[in-house]
Structure 1
Amino acid sequence: MSVPLVFITGASSGIGQALALRFHRAGYRLALVARRAAELQAWVDAQGIAADRAAVYAADVRQVDSIVGAGHACIAAQGVPDVVIAAAGVSIGFDTAEFADLEVMRSVFETNNLGTAATFHPFVGPMTARRSGTLVGVASVSGIRGLPGHGAYSASKAAVISYCESLRVELAGQGVKVVTIVPGYIDTPLTRGNAYGMPFLMPVEAFADQAFRTIDAGTSYRVIPWQMGLVAKMLRLLPNALYDKAVSGRGRKARQTR
């Protein structure tokens, strides 16, 4: 029986790296992608992962040719993955009144949305031909309702949820599963700079364990941790007037400074 393979973007830190370690511990071979390939390779070596169990690919998910090329290189060198996880993502504060922030929105969407679709692209055909495989999109509870200062991020993650749902129904009956993971507040470099309360903040290792089990089960959609799933459902049901009152005074995500 062949050793399963997982392809993960954004593997140099945070959620992507924690998932890489969790899948490695479950016996998977790794195909890991990051812009900082040397840094990622140093991490792989530090974990004591054998060379025949992990390969590192340098790619930028914002550049379609780059990430698609990494996917094709993975197929050529390691075979068609069993699981593909689009974990690369950015979260940057956004203010529509600031002209410079329009480029921030472009950057966020290129990474979080175009990057997700380009990550999946090389594998859809081979997986459907094989009639097996799992594509995993990483969204956020911020995509369930818009938050102050999160205009770009919330919109991008709402789009990830809808995109993955569209892809899921498109691939139904073809043997390929699409899983949407919706993290709440996870303790990673992406959240440590947030200057506001983060309820149910979860260690990234605990998140990775729950995400692994969700992916392994082929669950179509899951919010992690479950407490944030309940909160998200309640917020979704709130009338706009009550929701606006509840979050309008909340701290904003910090804008990018130059």
Structure 2
Amino acid sequence: MTSRLAFITGASSGIGQALAQCFFGAGWQLALVARREAELRAWAVGQGWPAERWRVYGADVAQTDSIVAAGHACLAAQGVPDVVIANAGISVGIDTAERGDIDVMAQTFAINNVGMAATFHPFIGPMRSRGSGTLVGIASVASIRGLPGHGAYCASKAGVVSYCESLRGELRDAGVKVVTIVPGYVDTPLTRGNRYGMPFLMSAEAFAKRAVQAIEAGTSYRVIPWQMGVAAKLLRVLPNALFDRLLAGRPRKARKT
């Protein structure tokens, strides 16, 4: 057993929930964050976990003060985490010609980007003082190239990669690591509504196991699964004309409305 503590946002379902199970199985203490606090608490109780091993904090990652308050509550109740995972995110298709979808884009950035920075914010000072800690950003292979109908999501996840890279350089001399995890297609409620093929689809549990290994190793950037990393790199080097032709007619991500 270990007294190490993992702080995980978006822990009520999908990747966040699978990460929580994986860390708990490895003996970690948990600080679990979600907007649906009661649902998350009921799920954790249902796991039969000893109450002293976990706490739940309700927060809306889209609201900066809300997620910052959850971070401070964790510091007060459980101490400085060893790992902070900014996992909460949304994926919604948009059409820039539709006025309402501009608001959807703003909400996507508020959660996927500003929410990530706000998640990390309370812990950077304490981790610097301690001289250790790991901040983890969950990006996506959708960050590699822009996909039709996915403008908000692709842009936000490209922003996650660049932001984490910047933060890694800022914290390098402080002993604080920044890890960027780049999932391919993972079977979660977020992806089950996709209307297109999802190559190398993996379960949330299999993804979480590999992600935890990368986090514990302090890997700066990891695409999971590796096959998707190869495919993404090939897409990156395709000439634009060929890339555009390849994606012509591809079903788009469903819009919010």
Question: Which bracket does the TM-score occupy, shorter chain normalised?
Answer: over 0.9
Deviation at 1:248, TM superposition (A): 2.3
1:146-161 pair list within 5 angstroms: 146-161=146-161
1:4 maps to which residue? 4
Secondary structure of the corresponding residue to residue 223 of structure 2: strand
1:114-153 pair list within 5 angstroms: 114-153=114-153
Q: Distance in 1 between matches of 2:38 and 2:230?
A: 40
Tell me which amino acid in the other structure corresponds to 2:136. V
The runs of 5 or more residues in structure 1 that have no matched partner are: none
Q: Distance in 1 between matches of 2:147 and 2:2?
A: 45
1:241 maps to which residue? 241
Secondary structure of the corresponding residue to residue 31 of structure 1: strand
Quickly say closer, same or farther: Cα 1:189–1:2, change in 2 above 3 A. closer
1:25-174 pair list within 5 angstroms: 25-174=25-174
Q: Deviations over 1:116-166 (max 9, x none)?
A: 000000000000110000000000000110011100000000000000000
Q: Deviations over 1:91-127 (max 9, x none)?
A: 0011001111000000100000000000000000000
Tell me which amino acid in the other structure corresponds to 1:164. C
Q: Distance in 2 between matches of 1:243 and 1:176?
A: 38
Q: Distance in 2 between matches of 1:16 and 1:247?
A: 30
1:209 maps to which residue? 209
Tell me which amino acid in the other structure corresponds to 1:246. L
Root mean square deviation, CA, Å = 0.8
Deviation at 1:17, TM superposition (A): 0.5
Q: Distance in 1 between matches of 2:148 and 2:226?
A: 23
Check conservation: 2:113, 2:156, Cα contact below 8 A.
Answer: yes
1:158-237 pair list within 5 angstroms: 158-237=158-237
Q: Distance in 2 between matches of 1:105 and 1:19?
A: 27
Q: Distance in 2 between matches of 1:82 and 1:40?
A: 22
Quickly say closer, same or farther: Cα 1:21–1:2, change in 2 above 3 A. closer
Tell me which amino acid in the other structure corresponds to 1:157. K
Q: Distance in 2 between matches of 1:2 and 1:204?
A: 24
Deviation at 1:2, TM superposition (A): 6.0
Secondary structure of the corresponding residue to residue 55 of structure 2: strand
Count of aligned positions: 257
Q: Distance in 1 between matches of 2:236 and 2:96?
A: 24
Q: Distance in 2 between matches of 1:249 and 1:234?
A: 20
Q: Deviations over 1:9-29 (max 9, x none)?
A: 000000001000000001000
Q: Distance in 1 between matches of 2:143 and 2:88?
A: 16
Q: Distance in 2 between matches of 1:233 and 1:144?
A: 8
The runs of 5 or more residues in structure 2 that have no matched partner are: none
Q: TM-score, normalised by structure 1?
A: 0.98
Secondary structure of the corresponding residue to residue 179 of structure 1: strand
Secondary structure of the corresponding residue to residue 222 of structure 1: strand
- Extract structure 1 runs of 4+ deviating beyond 2 A: none
Percent identity over paired residues: 71
Secondary structure of the corresponding residue to residue 250 of structure 1: coil
Q: TM-score, normalised by structure 2?
A: 0.99
Check conservation: 2:12, 2:39, Cα contact below 8 A.
Answer: yes
